[in-house]
A and B are shown apart, each in its own frame.
Chain A
Amino acid sequence: MTYQEFKETVVSITEEMQIADYELYYTEGDSTSVEIYQEEVKGYSVEEDLGVCFRCIIDGRAGYASTENLTAEEARSLVVRALDNAASIESEEETFLHEKGDTYAVCPQDTSPSPTGGELIESALALQKKMYQADPRVSDGTQAMMLYGRQKYALCNSKGLDLEDVISLARCYGMPLVSEGGEMYDGFESKKGRLQDFDLDAIAGKAVEDAVSTIGADSVPSGKYTVVFSNKAMATLLQTYASVFSAEQAQKGMSLLAGKEGERIAAPSVTIVDDPRYEGSYVMRTFDGEGVAAYAKNVVEDGVLVTLLHNLKTAAKAGVKSTGNASKSSYDAVVGISPFTFYIKAGQCPVASGETCRGLEDMLALAGEGVYITELSGLHAGANPITGDFSLSSKGFLISEGRKGAPVKNFTVSGNFFTLLLEIE
């Protein structure tokens, strides 16, 4: 049956079983992807997915069940399983459903037609070719990928909420392999947005540069260095530590930021923003995983922690309003907390007023001697959000005499995220 029919079936079962508080969360999507190896299409894939999650609240306790099988029989099983699970919850904190009354943003819909499979193949082949052309050392093993997908998120509940977001997005990946002196070096560059906006020359160039720049790279001797993080490297670090800003983690004693609202947790130059409709992310969301209106907010302002990220449950416990950060990592996931587009706001130019700002060059000049880190890896294992400690395999460049120097790789950057925030210059 269709989702609409399934939804009506579930609603009639809740009436029959006298379940007053419930929510249905539904996602459906389709995507096409193409993968190039040598100068040919290696793989082509077309996918369609859907899934629905039923959540009921019984005496403040949430019970979940989800399915991909939209049949009348399954609808009944879904409700019965969720009820049974709600009865097993022991946590004393109350869970709520969101009421009507928020004002939701209206996102401009991308009205351009979806790219065809042929267009995706053509542009992936072109990217592959451009990577081979970018440097004679680019060799087989190099791969280009192009994806286009559309995803719909819908949420309705017994309080009368009925919301829907649709996102469509193309992604492109350049993964060149460069061989020199019997050794192989890999590079990576990706972009997301609209297929027609991709600058394939620039993507190919950056991807190959990423691989070539590490040729001959050495490690650095152990020691304490002044470090400049590239925006990409810092973004991966912030992403890894995003959970320390979750009120849920804080309330459970798993974030060292617990109770630090209003206190200085970072250098005065640091402002961290969470924006569900950040321009350029192409993922525009109007509501969160519980149907609360999503909005942009400063989480850290001039070094001071303004707020943790909340959902309805943590907000009620803390006596504040939800920040609209309830999240579901997939339709069948239980509600958690996470940011949307989470970023450190661009700061002031490091040079004295009156001169032209040259961004990175100025920063390297100020650093004098040190290490410029362009990539961090192993974040799922080498970074612990509970302690803040990290020890990560890195690559980048030496900074000598205020300029980008020799490439360095396979060295470990160790530190603590909380200390690092305070020591940003």
Chain B
Amino acid sequence: MLSRELIKEALKKALATGADYGEIFAEHTRSKTINSISGKTEKIGDSVISGVGIRIFKGNRCVSGSASSLERSSVLACAARVADALSGTAQITDIVLRERLFGDIHPIKIVPVSVENSYKIDFMREMSLGAKEYSSEISQVRGSYAEVDHKILIATSDGLLAQDRQIRSRVSVSAIASREGENQTGSASPGARRGLELFELLDPRALGEKAAAQAVTMLHAGYIKAGNMPVAIENGFGGVIFHEACGHSLEASCVALGQSQFAGKLGTQIANPKVTAIDDGTIPNAWGSINIDDEGTPAQRNVLIEKGILKTYMIDKLNGRRMGMASTGNSRRQSYQFEPTSRMTNTYIAAGEDRDEDIIASIEYGLYAKSMGGGSVNPVTGQFNFAVNEGYIIRNGKICEPVRGASLIGKGSEILMDIDMVGRNVDRAQGMCGASSGSIPTDVGQPLIRVSSITVGGR
């Protein structure tokens, strides 16, 4: 992407005013999105992103710049603009770049960009048919397909020169069921750090049916009555609560500034002893996996919480300086236009020892949250609110009728203590996580868990 000479020259220029660390991030990304409505291709987006992001540190202070070009003159001008923000004399004058090869632990069999549109569209058509033919109550089906081919280069004043190519593919189907002027929705959206071999792992009809079944079920459901009750949260996307209510508070960007409910709690018990939580960027071909992070640090498997004890945070280089801790390979950015910061990769609650049937049987009256929706959390206070897309009442240890309108309301530090049963089957699900460094792919996950008591919002 950039020649070694240009990288060295740009780094020198950026460091000319006294910074003690410099970094160049260059990117060339091709992406495509295809959207269909009622099984017909409606819109195709097809873009090339290319540019450079330059950062310099002086102590805890960071100056950054970016430009939408990889041309020599633009890269050097960007370096000069960044240097202009400091006023000192150069501390680092000699940079020896040593290229490191990390290899790729996420093999790609079929590079999506090399495959014609029609192959992708055929798959989407099958998804739509699967949903449409599930029930006469399905009034509309939307499909989408997305591929990203993201090439990055990172060079630093420490001499690191590293590159990676991250290929991801994802499909999504969303169904609307209608009856008497009322709508309900259901969806399925699997993805992976894979090429089009992803299609070989998925049954498009079954995905469509899954989305449709959820919409139809909820169309015939009544509203849940609000109250405090035990809740069993299903595996897969159920992990979104841990991601939002605890994961974000364990990111160094929040901890280093004292804005986290978990700041200063290393080595202390913050969760029920049944809870072990892991952020693992090294799971082969997983949606949130990376070979190296966006500062060039190799991905790691980080045990965040072990049997309830807080073991580590997720740390990037800049916040690591403030905290006096090393990077954990969690620095990520959407693109060269965003400054990287500590983010999650694949974050999940590890398998426990309880059997699923025992968890359900243990609840006299409560909610079974089969499919979670998104939610929001305030990382300062840890307060969260999540929608339950598909929920059922549990009565006398048995899953009964479906209910709509349920939401789970609580506080991160409290729900962690209240997870008192943890199942054995971990499943992960894919999401796009948005924060200050942009929108990045992350996996959430967990086995079936029981929360002893939580506020369930309803009507």
| Interface residue ranges, A against B (CB under 8 Å) | 37, 40-51, 62-70, 74, 77, 81-82, 84-85, 88-92, 117, 139-141, 143, 177, 183-186, 222, 252-254, 256, 332-334, 377-382, 384, 386-389, 391-393, 409-412, 414
B68 with A68: CB separation less than 8 A: yes
A392 partner residues in chain B, CB cutoff 8 A: 385
How far does the Cβ of A222 sit from chain B's closest Cβ, in whole Å?
A: 4
A380 with B376: CB separation less than 8 A: yes
A64 with B44: CB separation less than 8 A: yes
| Known contacts A45-B65, A88-B41, A253-B139; A377 and B376 CB within 8 A of each other | yes
A44 with B375: CB separation less than 8 A: no
Taking CB atoms and an 8 Å cut-off, the chain B residues in 32-80 that contact chain A are: 34-38, 40-51, 60-70, 74, 78
Please name the residue on chain A nearest to B43 by beta carbon: A334
B46 with A42: CB separation less than 8 A: no
A143 to B261 CA separation, bound complex (whole angstroms): 17
B380 with A185: CB separation less than 8 A: yes
How far does the Cβ of A162 sit from chain B's closest Cβ, in whole Å?
A: 22
Question: B405 near A: Cβ within 8 Å?
Answer: yes
Those 8 A-B pairs whose CB atoms lie nearest each other, nearest first: A381-B374, A378-B376, A393-B385, A412-B457, A88-B117, A90-B40, A67-B48, A332-B47
B61 interface neighbour in A40, A50, A184, Cβ under 8 Å = A40
A70 to B63 CA separation, bound complex (whole angstroms): 27
A386 with B183: CB separation less than 8 A: yes
B457 partner residues in chain A, CB cutoff 8 A: 391, 412, 414
B257 partner residues in chain A, CB cutoff 8 A: 37, 140-141, 143
B51 partner residues in chain A, CB cutoff 8 A: 49, 68
B405 interface neighbour in A41, A381, A389, Cβ under 8 Å = A389
A43 to B458 CA separation, bound complex (whole angstroms): 43
B376 with A382: CB separation less than 8 A: yes
Question: B311 near A: Cβ within 8 Å?
Answer: no
Please name the residue on chain A nearest to B339 by beta carbon: A45
A89 with B42: CB separation less than 8 A: yes
A45 to B36 CA separation, bound complex (whole angstroms): 39
Please name the residue on chain A nearest to B374 by beta carbon: A381
A50 with B44: CB separation less than 8 A: no
Question: B267 near A: Cβ within 8 Å?
Answer: no
| Interface residue ranges, B against A (CB under 8 Å) | 28, 34-38, 40-51, 60-70, 74, 78, 81-82, 84-85, 117-118, 121, 139-140, 142, 176, 178, 181-185, 226-227, 257-259, 261, 337, 339, 373-376, 378, 380-381, 383-387, 404-405, 407, 409, 457-459
Question: How many A-B contacts at CB < 8 Å in the complex?
Answer: 209
B85 with A47: CB separation less than 8 A: no
A43 interface neighbour in B44, B62, B81, B380, Cβ under 8 Å = B62
How far does the Cβ of B427 sit from chain A's closest Cβ, in whole Å?
A: 20
A46 to B184 CA separation, bound complex (whole angstroms): 45
A143 partner residues in chain B, CB cutoff 8 A: 257
A74 partner residues in chain B, CB cutoff 8 A: 48
B227 with A222: CB separation less than 8 A: yes
A65 interface neighbour in B46, B176, B261, Cβ under 8 Å = B46
| Known contacts A381-B375, A384-B185; A391 and B68 CB within 8 A of each other | no
A85 to B337 CA separation, bound complex (whole angstroms): 27
How far does the Cβ of B77 sit from chain A's closest Cβ, in whole Å?
A: 8
A44 to B55 CA separation, bound complex (whole angstroms): 10
Please name the residue on chain A nearest to B51 by beta carbon: A68
A390 to B313 CA separation, bound complex (whole angstroms): 34
A65 with B47: CB separation less than 8 A: yes
| Known contacts A48-B78, A140-B258, A252-B37; A382 and B375 CB within 8 A of each other | yes
B337 partner residues in chain A, CB cutoff 8 A: 47, 49
A387 interface neighbour in B61, B184, B375, Cβ under 8 Å = B184
B62 with A64: CB separation less than 8 A: no
How far does the Cβ of A234 sit from chain B's closest Cβ, in whole Å?
A: 18
A278 to B41 CA separation, bound complex (whole angstroms): 36
B85 partner residues in chain A, CB cutoff 8 A: 44, 46, 117
A68 with B49: CB separation less than 8 A: yes
Interface of chain B, main secondary structure = strand
Please name the residue on chain B nearest to A387 by beta carbon: B183
A252 partner residues in chain B, CB cutoff 8 A: 37-38, 140
A116 to B226 CA separation, bound complex (whole angstroms): 53
B63 with A43: CB separation less than 8 A: yes
A64 to B386 CA separation, bound complex (whole angstroms): 36
Q: List 6 A-B contacts (CB under 8 A).
A: A43-B62, A43-B63, A90-B41, A393-B376, A410-B385, A414-B457
A46 partner residues in chain B, CB cutoff 8 A: 64-65, 78, 81-82, 85
B61 partner residues in chain A, CB cutoff 8 A: 40-44
A51 to B404 CA separation, bound complex (whole angstroms): 43
B376 with A222: CB separation less than 8 A: no
B78 partner residues in chain A, CB cutoff 8 A: 46, 48
Please name the residue on chain A nearest to B373 by beta carbon: A381
| Known contacts A46-B82, A69-B50; A63 and B44 CB within 8 A of each other | yes
A45 interface neighbour in B63, B142, B181, B183, Cβ under 8 Å = B63
A393 interface neighbour in B62, B69, B409, Cβ under 8 Å = B409
B184 partner residues in chain A, CB cutoff 8 A: 387
How far does the Cβ of B247 sit from chain A's closest Cβ, in whole Å?
A: 16
B458 partner residues in chain A, CB cutoff 8 A: 414
A68 interface neighbour in B34, B42, B50, Cβ under 8 Å = B50
A378 partner residues in chain B, CB cutoff 8 A: 374-376, 385-387
Given A45-B63, A92-B40, A334-B43, 11 more A-B residue pairs with CB atoms under 8 Å apart are A47-B67, A48-B67, A66-B46, A66-B48, A67-B50, A68-B69, A89-B43, A222-B226, A254-B140, A391-B387, A410-B409
A387 partner residues in chain B, CB cutoff 8 A: 182-185
Please name the residue on chain A nearest to B49 by beta carbon: A68
Residue in A51, A64, A382, A384 whose Cβ sees the most chain B Cβ within 10 Å: A382
A51 partner residues in chain B, CB cutoff 8 A: 49, 68
B385 with A382: CB separation less than 8 A: yes
A31 to B40 CA separation, bound complex (whole angstroms): 40
A334 with B44: CB separation less than 8 A: yes
Please name the residue on chain B nearest to A255 by beta carbon: B183
A119 to B329 CA separation, bound complex (whole angstroms): 36
A381 to B117 CA separation, bound complex (whole angstroms): 31
B381 partner residues in chain A, CB cutoff 8 A: 183-186
| Known contacts A42-B62, A48-B66, A140-B257; A67 and B378 CB within 8 A of each other | no
A381 to B433 CA separation, bound complex (whole angstroms): 13
B67 partner residues in chain A, CB cutoff 8 A: 47-49
A45 partner residues in chain B, CB cutoff 8 A: 63-66, 339
Please name the residue on chain A nearest to B263 by beta carbon: A141
A386 partner residues in chain B, CB cutoff 8 A: 176, 183, 185
Residue in B84, B259, B374 whose Cβ sees the most chain A Cβ within 10 Å: B259
A91 with B41: CB separation less than 8 A: yes
B60 interface neighbour in A42, A50, A68, A77, Cβ under 8 Å = A42
A69 to B27 CA separation, bound complex (whole angstroms): 11
A140 partner residues in chain B, CB cutoff 8 A: 257-258
A254 to B177 CA separation, bound complex (whole angstroms): 10
Residue in B47, B84, B178, B259 whose Cβ sees the most chain A Cβ within 10 Å: B47
A219 to B61 CA separation, bound complex (whole angstroms): 40
B46 with A64: CB separation less than 8 A: yes
How far does the Cβ of B84 sit from chain A's closest Cβ, in whole Å?
A: 8
A48 with B41: CB separation less than 8 A: no
A393 with B42: CB separation less than 8 A: no
Please name the residue on chain B nearest to A117 by beta carbon: B85
A65 to B30 CA separation, bound complex (whole angstroms): 11
A185 partner residues in chain B, CB cutoff 8 A: 380-381
B46 interface neighbour in A81, A379, A393, Cβ under 8 Å = A81
| Known contacts A85-B117, A141-B258; A49 and B182 CB within 8 A of each other | no
B65 partner residues in chain A, CB cutoff 8 A: 45-48
How far does the Cβ of B256 sit from chain A's closest Cβ, in whole Å?
A: 9
Please name the residue on chain B nearest to A28 by beta carbon: B68
A217 to B409 CA separation, bound complex (whole angstroms): 16
Residue in A77, A252, A389 whose Cβ sees the most chain B Cβ within 10 Å: A389
